[in-house]
Structure 1
Amino acid sequence: MLGAPGGDRDDDGGAQDARGGPADAPSSPRGLVLACADLLHRGDVDGARRVADMLLSGADPRGDAADRLAQHFARVLARRIDDKAGDAPTAGGAAPAPAPSAYLAYNKIAPFLRFAHLTANQAILDAAAIGGARRVHIVDLDAAYGVQWPPLLQAIADGADPAVGPPEVRITGAGPDHDALLRTGDRLRAFSSSINLPFRFRPLLLPCTAQLAADRSIGLELHPDETLAVNCVLFLHKLGGEGEVAKFLRWVKSMNPTVVTIAEREASIGSDCPDELPRRVAAAMDYYSAVFDALEATVPPGSADRLAVENEILAQEIETAVAPGRTGGRARVFEAWATVARAAGLSPRPLSTFAVSQARLLLRLHYPSEGYVVEEARGACFLGWQTRPLMSVSSWQ
């Protein structure tokens, strides 16, 4: 049974204060990270540097999960220490996107992305089937490499009535890298052609995702005879505060979509205390300790795939969650997203029983660890590790 994320956990799973409690022994990796964050927050740069150096001096990519996690946090804090001391320029702008091979490795060794994509895709399929759609338009707010869409396109082609043929599918893929979007479009067009599915792809360059809600001149070429799906998989947390998320969702609602899919991590990182470093670090450590524990339990020691995922994807997520001056990285739990979505005028669209069963089948077939759990609750589908929910997928209209 999955529980609410709540506060931070000690080693026995008990709750504790976000600044760390008795279970966070000063010499433990977690205790040292929290001590470093607290020293830096209080202005003791030299003390923080000594603790960070202590953590990094024994860095071993093949150490246990707690050690590897602490080293990733120590690297982020060390960069903040250098910034504060004036030893390095403050980093600005978006971090480079991880290599496609890292995303493929992530899909192979952990279920998070596939769970989000599969469950969101089923919600889109269900919405299109109910209306007997002949034209489907998907607005993907973070198209990246487009790995979500081939299974959906295949399902649409396989489910088509032979007497009338498959519907036309159009994807508007948004992102900050125009060349990457063009390559994504080329791959999806080639795949659609191979299964005889009418398909179009339009790249939508967005240096800043908030532009969608702020600039009404950004056209999405909407047509009244299309079934419109707006896909927000691991996207909303990239926006700024709650006001910006609300404004964005009101803009989504104004398009009158048939379905809106939202998938996000189940964490409270920076949403209520964006400027208090110790709390941000403690909340992020609580979430990512469960992710690292899951990888530790399911991937062989020394796995090159695990190293790529931790170093290129999870390290960047930790950097975004902890680094100062970032508008994104503000993860929230499902109840917080749901409150903002309802306030924006969206209504819950219950996920089908098949969508939940399919998510459970995904775990049994491809990630057969007893630690992963899928549960339907509060109008959403949750993926967790043991008792800790890690991701939610929900559907709206």
Structure 2
Amino acid sequence: MDPGSPYQWLKELRWEDRGIYLVRLLNACAGYVATGNIKNANLGLEYISHLTSPDGDAMQRMATYISEALSFRVFQHLPAACEIIMNSSSRMSNLEELVVKSLFYELCPFLKVSYLITNQAIVEAMEGEKMVHIIDLNASEPAQWINLLMALKKRREGPPHLKITVIHEKKEVLEHVGLQLIGEAEKLEFPLQFIPIVSKLQDLDFDSLSVKTGEALAISSVLQLHSLLAADNEMYARSSPAASKNLQRAVHMNQRTFAEWLEKDKINAYILSPDSALSPLSLSASPKMGSFLNDLWKLQPKLMVITEQESNLNGSNLMERVDKVLHFYGSLFDCLESTVSRTSLERQKLERMLLGEEIKNIIACEGLKRKERHEKLEKWIPWLELASFGRVPFSYDGMYQAKRLLQNYGHGYKLREENGFLFICWNDKPLFSVSAWRFRR
């Protein structure tokens, strides 16, 4: 930076002051973007650019991706920005997707804890069962089910006949999972039937799951159900030609006109970007979610374990979403800062290709394109109970094993139990919830 630059003083800020200043700038910039004040938004982004760095401290790294998302909304029409972001995600190769998700699994303990808790609950629920069927709503990490094979192999009565149905929209990912699982089952001489289903979750044909009479069924969903909340936009557009025309008209508006349209047409604005936290749907599931949970209930699962992000990022208000991103993803970047070197190429790849892409989807996209619609457990509980699922408390053994695992990653990670539900925390802040449910008549 040129010593004579008007931004030189930014470089000289102490790190703690820089973080505070960045938060203020990002919130202010989000306000300008939301109201269409492009001049001040540009000015704010210019200041922010001199404070961010993808290889700096945790705040600098996260702010890099927030500012990129805000830039999309400033410099381009909203739909074009979303297309660029969605295309950048879809351009990720199958190998890259597997690698980056594996990095999240290895560098952070959250998925390991989720898998451990889920597997322990399955082992306990399936005690004495001779035929067990597991449905994984979005398989990408074979380690979970390899560990389950090992646990079931140790049963006193011997392993059950196990059928694992895995769902993913990419065939190559399923082939990778299947290759790992089948290979491990052969080594263990474990009777395993592996069934891959290529499908997006929202398009899943439940008849293809082939749940047979006599099978004890368990369902696992890890960070997947929230994606269904975006599907209501598509359902509404298909069912109403007038609504579809309004949606097409909206996506061709510039930022200021778009904001004005949202204010005038609150009904269609809600449909374009539903916010379950503020809408009447807070007392029931969204139409797509309700239908999906009802179909799961009809399968009569003996156990269903759900892991979701513990954050309400599904709001329609841009400023609120930016603020909640700062809190939720700030903790994720902070825990990486505490456990992984800043120069780690694996950390940089994880932050750029996974966390960064999620942040940009949450902030820069609306409507159908905004897939990352996280909700807190307080919303999932009434949705699942409305679908007639009953709560299942976790055992002491599962919680004890999970706490021991977290201790290996440092003192900042904690496991908290509340009313039979579990929260995986960083410095007392819940980041992921794990809940267990069962079929109830």
In which range does the TM-score fall when normalised by the shorter chain? 0.7 to 0.9
The residue type paired with residue 146 of structure 1 is P
Alignment of 1:203 onto 2:244:
no
Aligned residue runs from structure 1 range 53-68, under 5 A: 53-68=46-61
Aligned to 1:158: 154
TM-score for the superposition, normalised by structure 2: 0.77
2: distance between equivalents of 1:171 and 1:348?
Answer: 23
Structure 1 residue identity aligned to 2:120: Q
Change (3 A) 1:49 1:203: farther
Note the 1:163-174 alignment, pairs <5 A: 165-174=158-167
More off after superposition, 96-105 vs 325-334 = 96-105
CA separation in 2, counterparts of 1:196 and 1:387?
43
Residue identity matched to 2:217? L
List aligned pairs for 1:255-294, cutoff 5 A.
Answer: 255-270=299-314, 273-274=315-316, 276-294=317-335
Find out whether 1:313 has 2:340 as its counterpart: no
1:183 match = 176
Distance of 2:197 and 2:370 partners within structure 1 = 21
Instruction: Decide which of 177, 187, 209 is 1:220's aligned counterpart.
Output: 209
Q: Post-superposition shift, 1:260?
A: 0.5
Counterpart mapping for 1:79-98 below 5 A: 79-84=72-77, 90-91=83-84, 95-96=89-90, 98=96
Matched, 1:134 2:101: no
How far apart are residue 358 of structure 1 and its match? Answer: 0.9
Q: CA deviation at 1:229?
A: 0.7
Q: Is the 8 A contact 1:145 1:181 kept in 2?
A: no
TM-score, structure 1 normalization: 0.85
Letter in 2 for 1:111: P
The aligned counterpart of 2:414 is: 373
Structure having the higher helix fraction is 2
Aligned residue for 1:79, secondary structure, equals helix
Task: Give the superposition deviation at 1:103.
Answer: 2.5
Give secondary structure in 2 for the equivalent of 1:239: helix
Q: CA deviation at 1:146?
A: 2.7
Whole-angstrom CA distance in 2 between matches of 1:88 and 1:126: 47
Q: Closer, same or farther in 2 for the Cα pair 1:387/1:51, shift >3 Å?
A: same
Is contact 1:383-1:391 (8 Å) kept?
A: yes
Q: Which residue of 2 aligns with 1:324?
A: 366
Percent of pairs identical after alignment? 29
Deviations 1:274-327 (A, max 9, x none): 2x1111111121111111111112223322222122112111221232222235
Deviation string, structure 1 residues 145-185 (Cα, Å, up to 9, x no partner): 43321111111112253xxx421111111111112212211
User: CA contact under 8 A between 1:106 and 1:305: conserved in structure 2?
Assistant: no
Aligned position for 2:345: 304
Q: After TM superposition, give the deviation of residue 190 of structure 1 in Å.
A: 0.7
Is the Cα contact below 8 Å between 2:129 and 2:160 reproduced in 1? yes
CA distance in 1, matches of 2:323, 2:139: 31
Give 1:113's match in structure 2, choosing from 104, 111, 114.
Answer: 111
DSSP 3-state at the match of 2:425: strand
2:394 and 2:436 in contact (8 A); partners too: yes
Relative to structure 1, the CA distance from residue 86 to residue 171 in structure 2 (aligned partners, 3 Å threshold; closer, same or farther) is closer
- The amino acid across from 1:159 in the alignment is R
Report if the CA contact (8 A) 2:52-2:63 is conserved: no
Cα distance change, pair 53–144 in 1 and its aligned pair in 2 (3 A): farther
Q: Residues of 2 paired with 1:256 and 1:394: CA distance? A: 17
- Structure 1 pair 269–88 and aligned structure 2 pair: CA distance change class (3 A): closer
Count, aligned residues: 361
> How far apart, in 1, do the equivalents of 2:80 and 2:40 lie?
16
Question: Is this contact kept in 1: 2:304–2:437, CA < 8 A?
Answer: yes
Between the aligned partners of 2:413 and 2:356, the Cα distance in structure 1 is: 22
> Hey, what's the Cα distance between the residues in 1 that align with 2:297 and 2:30?
40
Gaps of 5+ in 1: 1-22
Which deviations, in whole Å up to 9, do the C-alpha atoms of 1:20-46 show, x marking residues without a partner? xxx999971111111221111101233
What letter corresponds to residue 328 of structure 1 in structure 2?
K
Whether the aligned pair in 1 keeps the contact of 2:73 and 2:81 (CA below 8 Å) is no
1:390 maps to 2:431:
yes
Judged with a 3 Å threshold, the aligned counterparts in structure 2 of structure 1 residues 65 and 25 are, in CA distance, closer, same or farther, namely closer
Q: 2:202 touches 2:228 (CA, 8 Å); kept in 1?
A: yes
Alignment correspondent of 1:12: none
| Whole-Å separation in 1 of the counterparts to 2:84 and 2:112 | 31
Q: Is the 8 A contact 2:98 2:140 kept in 1?
A: no
3-state DSSP class of the match of 1:117? helix
